[in-house]
Amino acid sequence: MIAPVGPNATVAAGSVGSTETRHVDLPRPVPLDCGRELHPVRIAYETYGVLSPERDNVILVCHALSGDAHAAGLASTPPEAGTRDGFAAEARDGAAGKALGWWDGMIGPGKAFDTDRFFVVSSNVLGGCRGTTGPSSTDPATGAPYGTDFPVITVADMVRAQRALLDELGITRLAAVAGGSLGGMQALQWAVRYPDQVDAIVVIASTPALHPQGVAWNAIARDAIMRDPAWQGGHYHGTGRQPDAGMGVARMVGHITYLSAPALEDRFGRRLQFADDIRHTITEPEFEVESYLRHQADTFVKRFDANTYLYTSRALTYFDLAREHGGGSLDRALGGVLARTLLIAFSSDWLYPPAASEQIAASLRALGKPVEYHLIEAPHGHDSFLLEEARQTPVIRHFLTGAGADSSTPRKRHE
Amino acid sequence: MIAPVGPNATVAAGSVGSTETRHVDLPRPVPLDCGRELHPVRIAYETYGVLSPERDNVILVCHALSGDAHAAGLASTPPEAGTRDGFAAEARDGAAGKALGWWDGMIGPGKAFDTDRFFVVSSNVLGGCRGTTGPSSTDPATGAPYGTDFPVITVADMVRAQRALLDELGITRLAAVAGGSLGGMQALQWAVRYPDQVDAIVVIASTPALHPQGVAWNAIARDAIMRDPAWQGGHYHGTGRQPDAGMGVARMVGHITYLSAPALEDRFGRRLQFADDIRHTITEPEFEVESYLRHQADTFVKRFDANTYLYTSRALTYFDLAREHGGGSLDRALGGVLARTLLIAFSSDWLYPPAASEQIAASLRALGKPVEYHLIEAPHGHDSFLLEEARQTPVIRHFLTGAGADSSTPRKRHE
């Protein structure tokens, strides 16, 4: 594929190639918003591109609710299961059983986050289940998995853990922090919490605080898990049972909120599974969209931990820049931001609607801070941030021109 | 309250008073779309107003997913639990433990469906759990509740059962059939199936076929119930367990789809349950909207049967006028309609969006049939059909002028 990236861009949009998830054990406990500290903490991460000698070309990429550290390239070891979501996942199955990263279309030589220039770091969030310490990790106090004894995590905690990871990697400053959805919240949190360490943030399909309907959807998804008797109060590890039924429902709810009604209309309509008529069944799927949802549910439970879902969902509903950093005022919360800000929203995204990005843009503008806002007309709903790569790419590349490393001297990758 | 009903209207909007749900046992089996017949069939119904000697002033009112026959007035016996939904229910708790009907604001002397003129009949749908034969009724073949041995019901089957009920009441023609949501589907089905027996239909917040996102929400709600181990394949009656956990999730999903995002914003915002800060909890509600949802779930499971939810939800997703009656063409499906049609939609209704009503209106207009379409700007989402009584009233009263009984001679109620 040729990325439409403007006159100065490199040409072929390549791949970062084979990648490997590495791990760092943090030397110190991570202090948490809830008042507890977490130790030990292991962080799973991947990197793409080459760190400049000045260490000034680092972009931290942050993942969304069900993501992981494997953002780009082909996993060098066959993964337990795919790590990407919905439509995007289907469009991108890797070759030979190797999974493509969840943002592979955006990270690589010549891509939006150009690994010829930037050193991209991607880590699994604190509380995760894909290599970073989370509820399924061993609680040193008991020798058993934490389960719901794991401390409640916030987006600020996730960012603290990322800061500690970067310390271990010898990285002080970030040329940019970028992410969509929950990933965008992390980018915002970076700019607010570590203003002198972040040159720019790229906040895609995100919000300064999830709207009440989004809070509700997340609450329903979590309740579906917790009402499953197999959840067992969160201590299902080692019992031979896990809340797959509830997780499936949570996933189906999430999935529909990630898509738009017109996208479902285009893709499924009211097409029936069998021939041209209904079979009069309560238990079996009749419509293609029903069958699709069940498939999504079945696939998801194989690759994702239910408690991590609960903790991550809770973190993203808690996130509230104005409440946490501005005494209720978004202007005050953003008052200390030094990073240049790029905001991208999608017209059909009703979970993280354009209005949320516009609120951030308005606030930063009122504060006289550098901000760019792009509304992309796209039909896919919230999932657009994973799908509309071609249209995000020129916007992000242009925004990152001059960021961090000198853009006139692309760094080639050394294998 | 004074209903804003124009110059010729009666004045005070009164109540139909105390009401009682009665029952009819149908003398003949009801043939069903699935090929089976159902027998015996009992129908629960209420009536309001006085049947004219000419029997020409009958309005059949049809309820939505979780409704029942008690549409107006105060139930003469304390109900097991409230029968109305969400915001509407809260606004309308009856006095002294007696439940107000689910459409009490619309049915009564001087109201939209004016019982000074019309004889209003309201029945619980086939497959229901509030007095009409449904999955919790006794299967004569086994002596035990049907459970999922109950035949799969369609909207057409519901209407067949209503036709049979009216036969028993000695009613041949209907001045109007009216309903919102699933109730509107029944009204449409009446006009298509019995064109020479219906003078007018009032179709509110409804659709000729639920859009795929609505199909998906219903599938998720049903799956939440069926994935609950307490559902036991539908044979939970008599086991001491029932799928309250899954039903709660189904209800929460439904509830959010009945409201609009702005309505949630207005009513709950991101207000926390306790003081001004979060408590860092996974299991407890933190936001008011979370607590509200759990309350809705807990209330609903006490009054509604899970299998009836499954069957009714399935019926409304199946409903597809074009597929069932027009070989895929809505125009063809509506080609035989003789009834005058009133369509009302609400701007913020995203489950039964205005576009669906507009599709019906366009089709009827193209066929040269009498149709009125009113789009009401209202913020409450799909629930508007239960809440926006004052604005629907003049539209409906005007539409019904001259319908059935002569409007110049209001009939007084005889107690």
Residue B76 confidence (pLDDT):
79
Give the angle subtended at the CA of B248 by the CAs of B247 and B254, to the nearest 5°.
85
The answer regarding whether domain B18-210+321-400 maps to CATH 3.40.50.1820 reads yes
Answer yes or no: B349 catalytic.
yes
Distance from CA of B12 to the nearest CA of A (A): 38
Tens of pLDDT, residues A302-313: 999 999 999 999
User: What's the pLDDT at A97?
Assistant: 55
Going from the C-alpha of A214 to that of each of A181, B144, B265, the distances in angstroms are: 12, 43, 10
Report the share of chain B in percent with pLDDT over 90: 87
What region does A41 belong to: left with phi over 0, alpha with psi -120 to 50, or beta? beta
Q: How far is Cα B351 from Cα B180, in angstroms, rounded to an integer?
A: 12
- Cβ atoms B244, B396 nearer than 8 A: no
Contact B249 A248 (CB under 8 A): no
Q: B154, B210, B215, B296: best mutation site toward chain A, by most A Cβ within 10 Å?
A: B215
Helix (H/G/I), strand (E/B), else coil: B186:
helix
Does B215 contact A270 at a Cβ distance shorter than 8 Å?
A: yes
Of A52, A137, A181, A206, which one is the catalytic site residue? A181
Q: Which fold has domain A18-209+319-400?
A: Rossmann fold (3.40.50)
- pLDDT tens track for B47-64: 999 999 999 999 999 999
The minimum CA-CA distance between B201 and chain A, rounded to whole Å, is 25
Closest Cβ opposite residue A249 in set B223, B261, B310: B223
Q: Is B251 annotated as a binding residue?
A: yes
- Tell me the mean pLDDT per 10 residues along chain A, length 415: 38 77 98 98 98 97 97 76 39 56 96 97 98 98 97 98 98 98 98 98 98 98 98 97 98 97 97 88 97 97 96 98 96 98 98 98 98 97 95 97 56 40
Which residue on chain A is closest to B149 by alpha carbon? A282
Say yes or no for a CB contact (<8 Å) between A217 and B320: no
**B399 Cβ contact list (under 8 Å, min separation 6):** B200, B202, B340, B342, B372
> Is A349 a catalytic site residue?
yes
Q: Which residues of B touch A209 (CB under 8 A)?
A: 270
Name the residue with tokens 């939970």: B236
B199 is in an annotated binding site: no
Does A293 sit within 8 Å of B252, measured CB to CB?
no
What are the structural domain ranges in chain B? 18-210+321-400
> Has A384 been annotated as catalytic?
no
C-beta contacts of A374-377 below 8 A and 24+ residues apart: A374/A342, A374/A343, A374/A344, A374/A345, A375/A344, A375/A345, A375/A346, A375/A347, A376/A344, A376/A345, A376/A346, A376/A347, A377/A346, A377/A347
Question: Tell me, what's the pLDDT at B404?
Answer: 60
**pLDDT in tens for each of the 415 residues of chain B?**
333 334 333 333 589 999 999 999 999 999 999 999 999 999 999 999 999 999 999 999 999 999 999 999 999 765 443 343 433 443 344 444 569 999 999 999 999 999 999 999 999 999 999 999 999 999 999 999 999 999 999 999 999 999 999 999 999 999 999 999 999 999 999 999 999 999 999 999 999 999 999 999 999 999 999 999 999 999 999 999 999 999 999 999 999 999 999 999 999 999 999 877 899 999 999 999 999 999 999 999 999 999 999 999 999 999 999 999 999 999 999 999 999 999 999 999 999 999 999 999 999 999 999 999 999 999 999 999 999 999 999 999 999 996 664 444 444 443 3
